[in-house]
């Protein structure tokens, strides 16, 4: 025997109870040092969307940019988020409840049509 739970008019599902944070912000930050990756991780864990400018770090060390982006890719994948490049200088990182749309390229369409 199952019981039905009735909701009153004043009861509403809050964003927190549905798995989303109450407030989500879009933030633009610059990566100036490898230590900034920890700040980015905390922001993503808080549910915020980040647009990162990597050129300040790139002026210092391309190797550090590669390390930072690789670390962010691994972290983002581990939490179910998404990450993508926006041109040459920017990267967008989103939490698990957001997906980044990617346009299908002609090459991937050709592969898909020839696959059996």
- Res. 107 pLDDT band, cuts 50 70 90: low
pLDDT of residue 108: 54
Residues forming beta bridges with residue 29, ordered by sequence position: 52
DSSP 102: -
The angle at the Cα of 57, spanning 52 to 61, to the nearest 5 degrees, equals 140
> What DSSP string runs through 40-104?
HHHHHHTT-EEEEE-HHHHHH-HHHHHHHHHHHHHHHHHHT-EEEEETTTEEEEE-TT-----PP
67-94 tens-digit pLDDT: 999 999 999 999 999 999 999 999 999 9
Integer Cα distance of 108 and 5 in angstroms: 48
- Res. 38 pLDDT band, cuts 50 70 90: very high
Q: pTM, whole model, 2 decimals?
A: 0.72
Say if residues 93 and 49 touch (Cβ distance below 8 Å): yes
Domain 26-94 carries which CATH code? 3.30.110.150
Integer Cα distance of 114 and 50 in angstroms: 37
């Amino acid at each position: 025997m199952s019981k039905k739970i009735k909701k009153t008019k004043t009861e509403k599902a809050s964003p927190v109870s549905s798995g989303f944070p109450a407030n989500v912000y879009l933030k633009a930050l610059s990566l100036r040092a490898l230590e900034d990756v920890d700040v980015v991780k905390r922001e993503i864990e808080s549910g915020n969307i980040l647009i990162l400018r990597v050129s300040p770090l790139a002026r210092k060390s391309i190797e550090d940019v590669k390390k930072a982006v690789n670390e962010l890719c691994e972290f983002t994948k581990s939490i179910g988020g998404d990450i993508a490049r926006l041109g040459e200088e920017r990267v967008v990182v989103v939490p698990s409840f957001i997906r980044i749309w990617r346009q299908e390229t002609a090459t991937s369409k050709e592969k898909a049509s020839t696959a059996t």
